[in-house]
Amino acid sequence: MTDRQMKLGAFLMAGGHHIAAWRHPDAYAEAGSDIGHFIGLAQIAERGKFDMIFVEDAAAIRERNPDLASQAARSTALEPLSLLAAFAVNTTHIGLVATASTSYTEPYGLARSFAALDQLSGGRAGWNLVTSASELEAENFASSGLRPHSQRYERAEEFADAALALWDSVGEHAHLPPDGNAFADRSKLNPVHRHGTHFTVDGILESQRSPQGRPIMVQAGASDVGKDLAARTADVVFAASQTKSEAKAYYADVKSRLAKFGRAQDDLKVMPGISPIVAATEDEAKAKYRALQDLIPDAVGVALLASYLSIQDLSAYPLDGPLPEMPPTNLIQSRQQLIIDLGKRENLSIRELARHFAGARGHWQVAGTPAQIADAMEERFHDGAADGFNIMAPLFPSGLEDFVTLVVPELQRRGLFRTEYEGRTLRANLGVAGLTNQ
């Protein structure tokens, strides 16, 4: 038995994280637009005592080529905050985290939306801060095109500070029981005055203070500037690492940055993604994995690989040859490097690399028995590579149901995961202190 326990998130994505999930015989064709399907997934995760549900976002279709877009279930998705509002009234304990980009929104509007979700859910909201790195998104919003990486993070820094200040503009118990004289304690209302390079914010948030102090901040940056922003402002970091050595290096790097911002090691939880395929025997689990892999058309796998490598096309290169040298990118730099490193380390051809990557988009994939999955997670948890994991089931709902039914009890038996929620808010269950009030 150990006092330290894992944190778990359920990363939801329509029919599943595997790019070919929608082709599987057990797939649900309407997954991307059926609110009942998503609510069911949220309730499975809550039954498993997960800390949070996580929903990503991209304000654009995923594929420019209509032929490829027509073969990808990720071409349909529900807007995340609307989805989380539905979760809020159909769950009781589990945290609700959504991605929202700093590139095409304003601090006041975003802070207001997440404050509302936090109130609706009783203190269970979280914001995954991202900077949009897709040219397709830029074409939908920015007439000037995609901003350079450095400018995106400069804007994100300013955005995060403004949102945090807005959430702090209303103190605890600022709104009083009406007595005919005042509705609020004026000393607890702190107007925000921020006139920066990218944003001007003057005012007070029209909300009571969050039941958890402020919504949880989540980030996934892997560049130096992204890791610094996470160390300064985030409560949770989602990471992508293939090997344990990569995961340990990332974990140590992010944690080492906390002290310069006056933060303790436990103030930030690092939760890498893992895509588990669980079965009663190892052979059955591997057969389930192969069945999914066999459903990937080469064109779809290679197109997905190219998009994460941030290049237009790989068709000029032989599929059974090695990945060519990649030019520097202004898009998702960390994911491009992860793919390059994977191809070199495993000596994979473009076809093999595409098929491997399509399973979980660069995240850690494990197929095995409940004990084997738990062993793998426990090893990284105890060896300084993770504080918990973001579970990316390859196929929904069966993949998440299998994990909750088979792996969670094994983790609980080992004392590695809770049997009941500790608190009423996401912050309490994560066990992370709030940042010092600004």
Q: Residue 179 corresponds to which amino acid?
A: D
pLDDT tens by residue, 137-173 = 767 776 556 666 677 888 899 999 999 999 999 988 8
- What are the extents of the domains in the chain? 7-280+362-430
Residues 261 and 292: their CA atoms lie apart, in Å, by 44
Q: What is the largest CA-CA distance in the chain?
A: 78
More confident residue, 73 or 268: 268
Cα–Cα separations (whole angstroms), residue 220 to 145, 163, 239, 284, 332: 23, 18, 6, 33, 11
* 362 pLDDT more than 50: yes
Q: Of 36-45, 90-99, 307-316, where does mean pLDDT reach its minimum?
A: 307-316
Mean pLDDT of the chain: 88
- Per-residue pLDDT, 78: 87
From the CA atom positions of the chain, what is the Rg in Å?
22
Helix axes 80-88 and 107-121, enclosed angle (nearest 10)? 20
Average pLDDT value for residue range 223-245: 93
Residues 74 and 155: their CA atoms lie apart, in Å, by 28
- pTM equals 0.90
- Per-residue pLDDT, 438: 47
How many CB atoms are located within 10 Å of the residue 259 CB?
11
* 90 pLDDT more than 90: yes
Helix axes 149-167 and 224-233, enclosed angle (nearest 10)? 0
Which ranges constitute the DSSP H helices of 207-360? 224-233, 244-256, 282-293, 298-309, 333-346, 350-360
What letter would DSSP give residue 322? B
Q: Of 52-66, 224-238, 283-297, 406-420, where does mean pLDDT reach its minimum?
A: 52-66
Instruction: CATH number for 7-280+362-430: choose from 3.40.50.620, 3.90.1150.10, 1.20.1260.10, 3.20.20.30.
Output: 3.20.20.30
Average pLDDT value for residue range 14-28: 91
Confidence of residue 1 (pLDDT cuts 50, 70, 90): very low
